[in-house]
Every structure is written in C-alpha cells, then in structure tokens.
Amino acid sequence: MSFVRSRKISEKTDDPFIKESVMKGVAYKETPSWISSMHDQIRLTVLTSLGLYLRSMKLGYPAYVTDLEIEITKQVNWYMAGKFFIGKFPPLVGIICSGLSRIVGYYGTESLNYAGQPFVEFPLVALRRFSALLGASLIPIMYMTIRGLGHSRAAATLAAGLLIFENGLITQSRYATPEVYVLFFSAMATLSWTYMHKNQSQVIQSTIWQLITGASLGCAVSCKWTGMLALPMIWVSIAFETYNKLCDKRNTVKSVIKQNAIYLLTVGLLPLVIYGLIFSFHLALIPSAGDHDLLLSSHLKYSLVGNVLEPSQPNIAYGSQIVIKHAGTAGGYLHSHQKRFSGGSTQQEVTLYPHVDLGNVWTVHKANQIWNASLPIEFVNNKDSIRLEHYPSTRKLHSHDHRPQLSARKEHNEVTAYGDRYIQDSHDFWTLNILTDENRPSKDTTLTWKSLNQRFRLVHARGCVLISHHAYYGPPTGENHQEVTCMASAGTHISPWIVESSYHDQLDKMVPISYEKMSTWGMIKELHQLMKTYPDVVYDRLSAGATVEGATNPRSNMDDNPNKWFLKRATLRLWNELAGYSSHLVINPIVQRVILMSMATCIGFLGLNAFLVQRQLKLPYYLSWLYPAGLHVVSNEFYTRSILVFYSAVLIQFTGLRFTPSFDLSMSDILSSMYFGTGLIATMLESGTLRLPALYRRILFYGLIGLSVVKFSHLSHLAYGGKTWYRHECEASGLDIDCLAFPPHPQELANMLENSGITKDSTQMTIYIGLAGMSQPFRYNQGQEVEADQHIAILKKASFHQEANVAKGPLRYHRVLPTPGITPEEAALWAQDVTEKGMERVLAQDLQEVQALAAAAVAHEEKKKIEAQIGQTGTIRFLDQKNQLPILQPAAP
C-alpha cells in the first residue's frame, strides 16, 4: 500500500522512483511490480462486481416499456424491417440495440406503441442488461483513469466507490437509453487520452491510444448530440499542454505545431469521420420506404426503395397543371377544398395537405390572360407575373387585407381561393421568384420555371410572400391542415416551394424527368435538418397526453434546467404507479454536495493564490493551515493538470447542456458532470491530505464512501421501484417530487376518513391519464390504488390500440389523416357550378346595367318634355310626390 513521503525524506534517499515521483509532484511511493498490479486488479474486480450487482438487480421490473425506452424500441423494429426513419438522436445506440436484439433471436415481431405497454417478445430485458453492463464499466474506467494520471489507489478507490453508490447513475444504467452509451464513450475517451500521455515514450502504444480517443469521441457524438461536450474536454487538455510546451524553452515552436496538427487529425477530424461512417452505415440498413415518408422532401422520399414518382414534364408553360409542395416544412401540398373559412373573408380555404388529392392541382395562367388551347406554347420565366387557378373549382389563389384565422398578426395576410373565370382581380397576381442554390432570389429573367429540383417563391402584388409554417387548423373546425398565409418580409426557411408534378397537353413530346437517387451526403444533410427540428417535424398520433405527475402538479417541472439539476435536489420521474411504486432519477446528495464544495474550494484557492502572488504577500500564521489543506496545489503542476482535467470536464458538461437541442435534453444528461465530478473529488481530497498520516487519509476517504452508501440506501427504492412509498415519506424526503402521486399511509387514510365526518367523497382523487393524443380525467378513491392502476392499464390499452388500428404506417406520424378526395366528375361539377354562378352574376350585372340605361333614357325623355313645357308656358309642371297632384310654378327668369 502506498504511503506519504515528505519532500525532506525523499531528498535523502537514492531511490530513483521516489525522486522521480517527487519531481512530478507525486507524494506516494508506488511499487512498479506484479504486487502493485495485483492490488489494482483485486480492487478493480471487487469494485466492478459490486457495481454490476447493484445495476443488474430486478431488470425485469417494470415489466413494461417506459417512456424513456419507447424511442429505442421503435428504432429497433424499423432497423429489423429496413424502413427509413427520422431518429430523435444519432443512430449508433439504435444500431447497437438492433444488433443485440438480433443476437438474442428477435426479428421485429412485436410493436410497442405506448409507455406502459407490457412486452412479451421484445428483448427489452436484454437491452437493459447491456446498459447495466456499460454503467458498471464506468467504475473500472474511472479507477484506471485516476491511476493513469499518477494518483494513488486510495484516490482511485474513492472515485470508483462514489460511482458505485451514485443513485442517478444506478437508475439510468437500468434502462435502455442513449445517455449511458454517451457517458461510456466519453469516459473511454478520457481514459484513452490519459493512457496516451502515460505512454508517450512508446510511439506505437501512444498512437493507438490517441486513435482510440478519436474513435471514442466520434462514437459519443453518434449516440446523442450531448456527446459533443466530450470534444472540448480533450481540447482544453490540448490547450493546457500546448501552453506548457510553449513556455518550456526546450520545445521548439515547430515541434509544438506538428504535435497539434496530429491532434487535429486524431481528435478533430477522426471523430467527424467516425460520425459520418456511422450515419452512412445507418442509411445502408434502412433503404426502404418507411413510416416517416410524409415528412421527407420529395427527392429523399422517392430515393427510397418502394416509393415511385410518376415522371413529370421538365418545363412549366402557361396552361400547365402543376402540384406545388412546400419545401420549408413537412406540411405537404398547396391545397384547396370546398370548405370555407369560418371568419375573416369566409372565402374558400387554402391550406397544406400531405396526401395525394385532386385538390392539390393548380393551372398556371398569365396575370392578364386566361390560357386556352388556341394559344401558342409559352414557358413561364423568372419574374413573370402569373395567376394560379385551382383546377377543381377554377378559383384563383388570392390574398387580401384580412388577417388569417391562426396567425392574426399584422405581417400576415389571409390566403384564399377566390373568384371565377369572369373576375379580374389584381389580388390574384403573383410574381415568380426562382431561387438559386444559395436560397436567394435569382435576377436572371431568362430562367425557365422547372419542376422537381427548382425552388421558388411567390411574391404577391401587395409585396407579401406565400408561406406556410407550423400552425394547424385543429378539430373541430379543421383537420389539422397546416396554415398558408402571405407574409411580409418572410424568411427563406418558410417561403420556398417546389413543383413536384407538371403536365401540359401540348408538351407530351418532351422527355419526362424524375428524381435521381439522392447521394449519401445529401441524405445525411437532410436527415440532420429534420432531426434539428424533430418536435416540429415528427408528430406521433400515439403520443400520450398529460402524465399523472404533470396533471396533479403542473408546476412540478416547469423550471427544469441544467442549473436546477446540478445545483439543487431535482428529480426526474421515469415511471410511477398509483400504488406507490415508482422510479425517479435522483442524484446522491453526498456526491452532489462534495462536488460543489470541491469546485468552490478550487476556485477559492486559485483566487487566493493569485491575490497573494500579485500583492507579494504571505498568509498570516493563523491561516497557514491552508497550505497543507490544498493551497499549495495551485502551484503544483502535477495536481494542477489532474484537477484541470476533471474541473473543466464538469464545467463543460454542466454549462454545455444549455447549447444542445432542448427537445432531447433531460436530467439524465447531467450524469456526465457527476461522473467527472467524482474524479475531481478524488484528486482534490488527495491533494488536500498529502501531509496527513495514511490512516487518517483512509478514514476520510472510506468514511466519505460510507456516507454515500447511507444516502444510497435511503433512496435506493427510487432506483429499483420495488417498494411502496407513501405520501408522508415523499414529503419528508425534501425532494422535488409531486407527492400527491403517492398513496397515503393506511393510518393517514384512516385519520382522513375520521376527520371528514359526513363529507361526501372525502377520499376521492382526480388525476389526468395520458391516452392516445389526449389526456382524460380519472377519479378513484384513495386506498384503492391497485384497482385504479389496473383500470388505467385497461383504458390505455383500449385507447392506444384503437388509434393504432386507424393510424398505421406513415399515417401515424403526420397530423393529417387522409379524407375522401374529390373525383374528376365531382371536380367537373364543382367547376361548372362556380362558372354558372359566375355567369348568373354577370347576367345579373348586365341586367342591372340595362335597367339603369332604360331608366336613364326615360329620365332623359322626361327632361326633354319639361324643357319643352318651359319653352311654351314659362312654368314647370311636376307631380307632388305625396299627393300625386300636378303643381305649377313660375319658371325662373
């Protein structure tokens, strides 16, 4: 066992190992022999076995899929079927889980549609077991990292021991989620980087460890985007190393630049290559049409096996019948139907509709001329002023001053289908702006409007731009169609459109075109654009409504953020039952508080040391105890390096979460800070106890582990969920948990009944349960929680199975279900009706004009008679309008 050596004793010995260790700042005598190696192996075996045991207990409970695991189960089934999909996170975790599932004999035969659904064939326990194995492997990785940095076995044991009994890590390791994979690869990157520096004298081994570091970083990012936070951890270490080398005159600038160039390749470029290769492999596994087809661009959609697009005419001419698709969202095609807006102008609705329908077809006309077959072919060019006529109704795409129904703001104007063949309205005029590859309007007026790959914008005569965005006409007034408006100063992310299909009777001789297969890079690029806006793009009709906890206490998780997770006693509910069984992610308070104390102490020592150096002062006698307590560490390169590694890792993992996509962020992501925080605790405590006797140091280290064991045992039921927790116990814990979700103790319930008197339904509780696409109130009597759980399970099964039978395949992942489309016969009748009504209006207007002309002629004849009468008699004769009697008055002189 290692022991403390003072600098004075070490200077008197001729032992080269001790001299070398003291020069480096190591205060422990290490024996580089098989005995030391055996000590490490024994400790590693014991610590890892204990950690694996705690993480592998009761993995079959709960016997249903949780909300955290539902995405993984869907991805596994998609991989098994080879169906293309948009992942909520990068694909490495899904690929690994699919491989494990295939190994254990699963072939995608069971669909898990909702959280709480029992699994029968799906190997969820096997996936949980592998996650537990990864979680347990963090213990030896941390131990080996501490030892690789040159610290004692006691410090390594302290860090590993704190990880063993960290409640949050134990809980998260028991479920098939990507966070455990991210943490494993981040830890592996840190370990391999440490061993790379440890073996710098051996070029081959150092290079291998350096390559493993880059590969681990790439895998971490490929599991979840929070894995990107592992990159700056290594880069901070490189910056610190570069600074020290530049300050050392023995190193040339050229050698430092050369070393950094190698680092750029191995820990900069290699992770990016690994990330791209994993995505390429992911796309190779899912080449076929899938459940997310309605959410993809036309090019990507028709690049998948099984999706076929009827070839389209390449050029668009006046008189072409076209189908326009919005390129900025997954809303679908520019569409109109017989329904009218309930407010505003009450004119015919124009929306986005994702399914094939005759109401998606529009005919192109000039602004001042309706095309007919007698006119010659004329292609539409950039900057042309056009009109778009809805094919089934013959009404024109129109915009005016009315505000839209949903986006009732001054920059938005309503878009409708208006008019008929006999109305000439300048509000039907749109200017075609073809976009360049940089998504900017082209100024070339010779460009011809083309179908499929050419993006364009439509600018209204009033200056606004035709757009669509994530606003939906929900039931009962709508069918979740996406809103279309005309927006002033609209950005190019919501205003681009493409023509997916074009047909003209006189262009049959043109060679039709179709989409070529999209390149792998193009698929990866579009897939990332969709993943960045995952909540706006992917809509699951089987997603549950409000949860039990959120309904009973809507404010319980409103202020969830990384600050709260790291600094306060926050929790994350993984699953719960009304009977009191639940699992919550809870950080071990001992580990959390000691990490915060270590960080504060380190900052305090750095600030105090900087002040003393700047002022050239020494500590007074009564504060001299700060030197052996750790103040000397800030001037010790060995400990400064280790502390910097872990401190920067904690800080980066904690603060960096604010810059990652919020839709995929949860309290589970703070566990990386807890992992590296245990390393910071070990190095800080070792540095602060350098001059203590070995016995005292061990008492401190193992006493801290003992305190964490005590806290772990108090909260262990929240990790395993196998114990009933009552309401008063929850309230006494001080944790941020909605305690109303737990049942009252039988004695508390008896007191409640006794004090209620004759009050009716005094024990009744109302909660909201999440069903398919909605939430529903549910009432039960406290004390009957087991029966209530059974009833809720029945309600969920009926609701989700009913919705699953309606929304199958791609229909499940889009807001709009297909409605009966209009037939060509119905479209002809509709157009005829609009035309006839237009003719009636024109005839009525003509009749009014004729009647007005006749009245004007009669008035003119009457005027002539009056003038003649004045000339003969000098008087004016007209009828009294009240009594209808003739009146004579002298004419004016």
CATH code, 315 = 2.80.10.50
* pLDDT exceeds 90 at position 633: no
- The pLDDT of residue 1 is 33
* pLDDT exceeds 70 at position 165: yes
The residue ranking higher by pLDDT, 845 or 449, is: 449
* pLDDT exceeds 50 at position 655: yes
Return mean pLDDT, the chain. 86
Residue 338 lies in a domain: yes
Same domain, 68 and 216: yes
Confidence of residue 887 (pLDDT cuts 50, 70, 90): very low
The residue ranking higher by pLDDT, 878 or 683, is: 683
Pairing mode, strands 875-879 and 886-890? antiparallel
- The pLDDT of residue 808 is 86
- The pLDDT of residue 707 is 95
Final residue in a domain of this structure, among 719, 752, 772 = 719
Residue 391 lies in a domain: yes
Structure tokens at 776: 């529903």
- The pLDDT of residue 620 is 66
Residue 366 has what DSSP assignment?
A: E
Residue 808 lies in a domain: no
Distance in angstroms (rounded) separating the CA atoms of residues 226 and 661: 8
Considering only CA atoms, which of 670, 559, 638, 582 is closest in space to residue 169? 670
Distance in angstroms (rounded) separating the CA atoms of residues 469 and 25: 61
Per-residue pLDDT, averaged over 218-246, amounts to 91
Residue 617 lies in a domain: yes
Same domain, 399 and 447: yes
* pLDDT exceeds 80 at position 16: no
- The pLDDT of residue 629 is 55
Considering only CA atoms, which of 359, 459, 464 is closest in space to residue 403? 464
pTM: 0.87
- The pLDDT of residue 551 is 35
Q: How far is CA 251 from CA 241, 243, 246, 255, 808, in A?
A: 12, 11, 7, 7, 66
Distance in angstroms (rounded) separating the CA atoms of residues 76 and 87: 11
Final residue in a domain of this structure, among 675, 700, 719 = 719
pLDDT > 90: what percent of the chain? 53
* pLDDT exceeds 50 at position 13: no
562's CB contacts (< 8 A; 6+ apart) are: 654, 655, 657, 658, 669, 670
Residue 657 has what DSSP assignment?
A: G
Final residue in a domain of this structure, among 699, 719, 739 = 719
Note the pLDDT tens digit of each residue in 98-123: 999 999 999 999 999 999 999 999 99
Same domain, 18 and 80: no
Residue 273 lies in a domain: yes
Same domain, 2 and 39: no
* pLDDT exceeds 80 at position 750: yes
627's CB contacts (< 8 A; 6+ apart) are: 619
- The pLDDT of residue 619 is 67
Provide the β-strand partners of residue 366. 369, 386
* pLDDT exceeds 60 at position 885: no
Considering only CA atoms, which of 364, 390, 388 is closest in space to residue 377? 364
* pLDDT exceeds 80 at position 758: no
381's CB contacts (< 8 A; 6+ apart) are: 432, 445, 446, 447, 448, 449
Q: Which amino acid is at 452?
A: L
Considering only CA atoms, which of 186, 73, 164 is closest in space to residue 127? 73
- The answer for 349, left when phi > 0, alpha when psi is -120 to 50, beta otherwise, is beta
Residue 791 lies in a domain: no
Same domain, 240 and 113: yes
The answer to whether residues 191 and 148 touch, using CB atoms and an 8 Å cutoff, is yes
The residue ranking higher by pLDDT, 264 or 858, is: 264
Confidence of residue 14 (pLDDT cuts 50, 70, 90): very low
Considering only CA atoms, which of 190, 181, 198, 192 is closest in space to residue 91? 181
- The pLDDT of residue 601 is 85
Q: Considering its fold, how many domains does the chain have in total?
A: 4
Q: Which amino acid is at 649?
A: A
Same domain, 227 and 177: yes
At which residue do the structure tokens 């260790």 appear? 21
The answer to whether residues 326 and 352 touch, using CB atoms and an 8 Å cutoff, is yes
- The pLDDT of residue 24 is 43
Same domain, 427 and 556: no
Residue 460 has a CB neighbour count (10 Å cut-off) of 23
Note the pLDDT tens digit of each residue in 38-58: 888 999 999 999 999 999 999
Per-residue pLDDT, averaged over 730-743, amounts to 87
What range defines the domain where residue 414 resides? 310-514
886's CB contacts (< 8 A; 6+ apart) are: 877, 878, 879, 880
The answer to whether residues 473 and 479 touch, using CB atoms and an 8 Å cutoff, is yes
The residue ranking higher by pLDDT, 817 or 93, is: 93
Least confident of 519-528, 672-681, 872-881: 872-881
Structure tokens at 441: 């309007």
**What is the Cα gyration radius of the chain?**
38
The winner for highest mean pLDDT among 12-21, 412-421, 547-556 is 412-421
- The pLDDT of residue 5 is 34
Residue 779 lies in a domain: no
The winner for highest mean pLDDT among 159-163, 505-509, 600-604, 788-792 is 159-163
Same domain, 317 and 245: no
Note the pLDDT tens digit of each residue in 288-332: 999 999 999 999 999 999 999 999 999 999 999 999 999 989 889
Confidence of residue 634 (pLDDT cuts 50, 70, 90): low
Same domain, 24 and 37: no
Structure tokens at 69: 């695991």
Distance in angstroms (rounded) separating the CA atoms of residues 344 and 341: 7
* pLDDT exceeds 60 at position 880: no
Task: Print the SS3 string covering 43-66.
Answer: HHHHHHHHHHHHHHCCCCCCCECC
Provide the β-strand partners of residue 513. 312
Same domain, 555 and 510: no
- The pLDDT of residue 415 is 96
Considering only CA atoms, which of 515, 297, 311, 316 is closest in space to residue 432? 316
Residue 369 has a CB neighbour count (10 Å cut-off) of 11
The answer to whether residues 116 and 321 touch, using CB atoms and an 8 Å cutoff, is no
Residue 841 lies in a domain: yes
Same domain, 80 and 196: yes
The answer to whether residues 670 and 652 touch, using CB atoms and an 8 Å cutoff, is no
Same domain, 110 and 190: yes
